Structure 1
Amino acid sequence: MSEQTTDRGVSWGWQEAVLEFFSPRAAQQRYSARIASANLRRAYDGAAKGRLSDGWRTANTSADSEIRVAGGLLRDRMRDLVRNNALAAQAVQVLVNNIVGTGIRPRAATGKPELDKQIDKFWQAWSARCDAHGHTDFHGLTALAVREMIEGGDLFALRRPRRTRRTSPVPLEIELFEADHLDGSKFDDSSEGTRISTGIEYDRTGRRVGYWMFPDHPGDTSPAFRRKFESIRISAQNVAHLFERQRVQSRGVPWGTPAIRALQDLGDWQVAEMVRKKTEACLVGVVVGEEGDGTAGITPEVKDSDGKAIESFRPGMFGYTNGRDIKFNSPANSGGVREWNITQMLIISAGFRVPYALMTNDMSQANFSSNRAGLNEFRRMVEQVQWSVVIPMFCQRIWDWFCEAAWTAGLIEQPDIPVEWAPPRFESVNPWQDAQTDLLETRAGFSSLPQQIAKRGYDLREVLEEQIKALKIADELGLVLDSDPRKVTRVGQAQSTSPGEADTATKPDNPAT
């Protein structure tokens, strides 16, 4: 006797069936009691079982197990979409523009101005030529690393301890490896307590101690005899692994993974709709009523080498039948195309965590208030990624390598140098209003001048020193600038007294001794 499962996930078992034969009321009471007991055990509707959720397949596997199986295919599909799908390419570019922008800049923070200035000078000289391949600088490497993290899920930065150029005395270069370089098929358990899982080696405490990587890209199409197919071990101290952790996991996945199916389906639908429109456009009209043998078709008769008829469609064709009247073809209108496209693109933008307006450049769906509210939430996400992922996992590691290399070369006195990071500032939607807000917050004491300057990505000392130089030049030329608070008030009027005169006026004649 088969059991029937209801929407509540409680089956009508054989006990109820037998009891129903003797006492239907008792069978119903027993079944109701079973349902009540099941409700006590399962208080969440999302955990209910039944025919409405039969097609919902879930698994309690670990994140590493899921990534081990699907990670490679997800990377391949996402890269294909970024290459060939405009929405995917724009979404990735928007994320890179906002997370990295013109660069995440470090400043030494030892508390000693002269030492900080010296270290910053070494960094500027080294960061301009730190790329092992000689293509870009530190900011370019950061942008490429973040792009690879978003598109492929992982990025590996390798420390190469060698002298870069004569213009940089720091013996260090940085080389970036894509996620494919990691030997995901490498597994091993040693008797000493170390283990290797998907190419990452751990000690007995679970800390990463090494990466097994291919020197050459496994997908390289160069001649096989020039490539190295065997992975080699690289110490974890020489590797910076950049990826986003959404669970307790060892590797990352492409950011647009939730939108992969939607992107592909939208692209297929657009191609199908375009083909349908082209097919409709091929047939302009039909000539009817013309005398003939009735053998004329819609397409002109073309035969191949075997004498078989070939039919083809071309734009502007007429179909001939018996008769002389012409009936023009009227292609059918597809209703709701725009609405359906917008709905799908909203799903895709949510999958990439990018505002719809930024991904599509369609501002018709947003006004000033909604656009600003959406940008505020997007910027919170960007700041979280900057300070929780990119800076600690990539930028800070490279700064530590730089300081260690500079200390080894005898350029600085210690290998550990405190640092302050300054991500690029966000462009204001309403610059005047935001500037007024910053000014009021600073004057009220809710914020400080160093915080306001750092928020814009600048260094306090550099800004003040530059301001002193500019004001000195203005004084020498006899210029009175509206931005000079020594001589002009906030509303643009001349100050009644200069700062020096004000100090003299308030100074007592007989100061207390």
Structure 2
Amino acid sequence: MARKRTRRPTATAAPVHTAADAPFVARAQYDAAGQGRRMRGWRAPSTGPNRATAGLETIRNRTRDAVRNDWSAAAGARSLVTNLIGSGIVPRPRTTDPKLKAKLIELWDSWVREADADGVLDFYGLQTLATRSWITSGEVFFRLRPRRRDDGLTVPLQVQLIESDMVPTIDRPLPAGNVIRSGIEFNRIGRRVAYWVYRTHPGDQVFGAANFSELVRVPVDQMRHMFEPLRPGQLRGVSDLAPVLAKLRGVMDFDDAVLERQRLANLFTLFVTRPTPTGPMPIDVTTGQPYSATESDGSPVIMMEPGLVQELAPGEDVKFSEPPDSGANYSEFVRAQHLGVSAGQGLPYELLTGDLKDVSDRSLRIILNEFRRHCGQRQWQIIIPMLCQPVRDAWAVHAGLGGHLSGAEVREAKRVTWAPEAWAYIHPVQDVQAKRIEVEAGFRARSQVIAATGEDPDEVDKLRAEDAERDRRVRPAGGSGRGA
């Protein structure tokens, strides 16, 4: 008997949505990706990290001009440099050998005064100048200059700061397979191998403009580049003021216009008007002659003098000028603009302008703590690894070449802890008490607290021991020390 075959129902195909059905299909999408009325005019190009820096020279020149001529741009750059560097970021040797540590500190302190290849600043002054150039120009280069032993330097090495203008943003291939991108030479695996630098600053050319034949190839082991990359793969830096440069210019022009308007308003002026005479001219009772608005020598009859009471001729009237004032909302408008400028520069408004109106201690602490975290981030991610440590490493090597250090000591000389200048206390008593409680509770070590102030814990302990010994010597036996 044949088996009865059951017919299974065929699976229905999934519905296919056509373009006509698209409006009815639920889709998840960011509003910022839409092309509706609100976003239709937003044209955002998909340029890469280096094409996005096109016009870098123009931004750099305008930023420098703003820092030269605009008080808010100058104040912003000055405040950032002051808080990032202070009096200097100092290296503390990490060696546990006290004799070697003292030797390294003495050798470094002697070289610091000779560090500048231009012979103007010491190494900590170079830190300030390099940071100012980075903030205003977006980047700075520095060249490590080896010197001969007979040059009379403690360590045969100096540092030469180079403005970003000296490394042109040129792109060209090289015969060996290397390539120059934005003035930086890369090998086949994308590693930096050299920088192409003008012999002299192109903006200081006396005879004609600079040309590419004047470029010098500087190997990467003699050249360093300090900048803050904002996108992966970015090769050159952009000034901190770039996002607010247009606003800075607009605020400066507005403020100048208001100032000029107020200057003109201070030119207090009155106008004497008289009707057109239809009959004979009025007679001046003092002279018996027809009345005239001027004397015989051409000077006006009515002169502005304190307490003057002037009788006018029949039909004459006096009208004073009424120039517009600066406006009731001038202060608030300018304050709102500077709030945006300070935020764009990464600065608290209070530090940029010095305006502490309606600022409490609690809010000031929050503002300063956030700003100090921002400064610490830039110190430990930009300044120290890109400027301070490379110089220290080169210094240690050349100290060994100069016969001051052995091979093992060179390695120890490179191992340092960088100590930025400590922040000032907001509330000295409360802040010190809080640190003391942390140490007593075991949350922090006493040496950590001392190091956070920028001091060397070993040096502090040494000085305390010397002070205690001095007090013991000068205090009378069995006395309290009073009157000693």
Tell me whether the two structures share a fold, i.e. TM-score over 0.5.
yes
Q: Are residues 278 and 109 of structure 1, via their aligned partners in 2, closer, same or farther at CA, if it must alter by over 3 Å?
A: same
| 8 Å CA contact retained: 1:164, 1:173 | no
Q: CA deviation at 1:80?
A: 0.3
Q: Which residue of 2 aligns with 1:428?
A: 425
| Distance (whole Å) between structure 2 residues aligned to residue 75 and residue 268 of structure 1 | 20
Q: Which amino acid aligns with 1:412?
A: L
Q: Are residues 202 and 401 of structure 1, via their aligned partners in 2, closer, same or farther at CA, if it must alter by over 3 Å?
A: same
| Distance (whole Å) between structure 1 residues aligned to residue 119 and residue 359 of structure 2 | 43
- Among 84, 106, 109, the alignment partner of 1:124 is 109
- Among 137, 143, 157, the alignment partner of 2:122 is 137
Q: CA deviation at 1:278?
A: 3.2
Q: Which residue of 1 aligns with 2:403?
A: 410
Equivalent residue of 1:331, what SS? coil
Encode CA deviations 1:112-138: one digit per residue, 9 max, x unaligned.
221121111111100111101111101
- Among 161, 164, 178, the alignment partner of 1:194 is 178
| 8 Å CA contact retained: 1:183, 1:199 | yes
| 8 Å CA contact retained: 1:288, 1:322 | no
Q: Which residue of 2 aligns with 1:99?
A: 84
| Distance (whole Å) between structure 2 residues aligned to residue 321 and residue 91 of structure 1 | 60
| 8 Å CA contact retained: 2:193, 2:219 | yes
Q: Which amino acid aligns with 1:329?
A: S
Q: CA deviation at 1:166?
A: 6.8
| 8 Å CA contact retained: 2:170, 2:180 | no
Q: Are residues 328 and 195 of structure 1, via their aligned partners in 2, closer, same or farther at CA, if it must alter by over 3 Å?
A: same
Instruction: Report the count of equivalent residues.
Output: 428
Q: Which residue of 2 aligns with 1:204?
A: 188
Q: CA deviation at 1:331?
A: 3.1
Report the aligned-residue RMSD. 2.9
Equivalent residue of 2:331, what SS? helix
| Distance (whole Å) between structure 2 residues aligned to residue 81 and residue 341 of structure 1 | 17
Structure 1 residues 288-327: aligned runs within 5 Å: 288-289=273-274, 323-327=315-319
Q: CA deviation at 1:221?
A: 4.2
| 8 Å CA contact retained: 1:291, 1:322 | no
- Among 21, 24, 27, the alignment partner of 1:40 is 27
Encode CA deviations 1:257-308: one digit per residue, 9 max, x unaligned.
1110110000111122223333444462332335569xxxxxx9xxxxxxxx
| 8 Å CA contact retained: 1:288, 1:321 | no
| Distance (whole Å) between structure 1 residues aligned to residue 247 and residue 149 of structure 2 | 45
| Distance (whole Å) between structure 2 residues aligned to residue 135 and residue 168 of structure 1 | 15
| 8 Å CA contact retained: 1:291, 1:323 | no
| 8 Å CA contact retained: 1:152, 1:179 | yes
| Distance (whole Å) between structure 1 residues aligned to residue 449 and residue 30 of structure 2 | 47
Unaligned runs of 5+ in 1: 1-28, 294-299, 301-314, 481-486, 489-513
| Distance (whole Å) between structure 2 residues aligned to residue 46 and residue 367 of structure 1 | 38
Structure 1 residues 224-243: aligned runs within 5 Å: 224=208, 230-243=214-227
Q: Give yes or no for the alignment of 1:379 onto 2:367.
A: no
Q: Which amino acid aligns with 1:237?
A: D
Q: Give yes or no for the alignment of 1:464 onto 2:461.
A: yes
| 8 Å CA contact retained: 1:100, 1:424 | yes
Q: Which amino acid aligns with 2:316?
A: R
Q: Are residues 36 and 394 of structure 1, via their aligned partners in 2, closer, same or farther at CA, if it must alter by over 3 Å?
A: farther
Q: CA deviation at 1:72?
A: 0.7
- Among 342, 351, 356, the alignment partner of 2:349 is 356
Q: Are residues 166 and 469 of structure 1, via their aligned partners in 2, closer, same or farther at CA, if it must alter by over 3 Å?
A: farther
Q: Give yes or no for the alignment of 1:57 onto 2:50.
A: no
Q: CA deviation at 1:55?
A: 2.7
| Distance (whole Å) between structure 2 residues aligned to residue 186 and residue 98 of structure 1 | 36
| Distance (whole Å) between structure 2 residues aligned to residue 365 and residue 147 of structure 1 | 31
Q: Which amino acid aligns with 1:131?
A: D
Equivalent residue of 2:196, what SS? strand
Q: Are residues 172 and 323 of structure 1, via their aligned partners in 2, closer, same or farther at CA, if it must alter by over 3 Å?
A: farther
Instruction: From the CA coordinates, give the structure whose radius of gyration is larger.
Output: 2
Structure 1 residues 62-77: aligned runs within 5 Å: 62-67=48-53, 69-77=54-62
Unaligned runs of 5+ in 2: 1-16, 279-292, 294-303, 306-311
| 8 Å CA contact retained: 1:290, 1:325 | no
| Distance (whole Å) between structure 1 residues aligned to residue 315 and residue 88 of structure 2 | 73
- Among 396, 416, 424, the alignment partner of 1:419 is 416
Q: Are residues 241 and 31 of structure 1, via their aligned partners in 2, closer, same or farther at CA, if it must alter by over 3 Å?
A: same
Q: CA deviation at 1:186?
A: 4.1
Equivalent residue of 1:53, what SS? coil
Q: Which residue of 1 aligns with 2:281?
A: none
Report 1 or 2 for greater relative contact order, CA contacts < 8 Å, sequence distance ≥ 6.
Answer: 2
Q: Which residue of 1 aligns with 2:241?
A: 256
Q: TM-score, normalised by structure 2?
A: 0.82
Q: Which residue of 2 aligns with 1:270?
A: 255
